[in-house]
A = this chain, B = another copy of it.
Amino acid sequence: MSTLTPPPRHPAGLAQKLADSGLRSTPQRELVYEVLLTKRDHPTADEVFARVKPELPGISLATVYNCLETLVQCDLVRAVNFERGPTRYCPNLRPHAHFHDEVTGQTHDVDLPETLFTKLKSELPPGFDANAVEITFRGKAKSCAN
């Protein structure tokens, strides 16, 4: 029987993006990324750790931190910080804002037109050159389709 390469359950882009930065694709990195893609609720490092552990019981929290940091470096994931509290991770790379529900504590992605981000940057006084804009809303979401 010939050796079979198991089909990759993880997005094709990952290995490539990592390689672009001279980094290797590892089971840990793949799984952490997969977990982020699967449940997009902006988990903390601890939460990612909990979700990853059943699949890869030997993994350590430090590794989860390492992997997350690596994914951020490779532009596969964004780190977001709301008020005090742990950093959260978001695999949505399209330009979008975050809506932080003050009641449930949940964070929702809100797609906004690219033009809005451009417009915002254009409002900056001369001398300021922004390469990123972050927008965070805070309030109540009475989800119609709940």
Binding site for B on A (CB under 8 A): 79, 81-84, 87, 99, 108, 110, 112-113, 116, 120-121, 123-144
Contacts and interface: CB of A to CB of B under 8 A. Distances in A.
Counting from the closest, the 8 A-B pairs by CB-CB distance are A130-B139, A130-B137, A132-B138, A134-B136, A131-B139, A127-B144, A129-B139, A128-B141
Nearest to A83: B81
Contacts of A110: 124-125, 128
A71 to B, nearest CB: 15
A142 B127 contact: yes
A112 B124 CA distance: 8
A37 to B, nearest CB: 22
Copies in the complex: 2
A5 to B, nearest CB: 38
Contacts of A136: 133-136
Contacts of A82: 81
Given A128-B137, A133-B135, A134-B136, 9 more contacts: A79-B83, A99-B128, A128-B139, A129-B139, A133-B137, A134-B135, A134-B138, A135-B135, A136-B136
Contacts of A143: 127
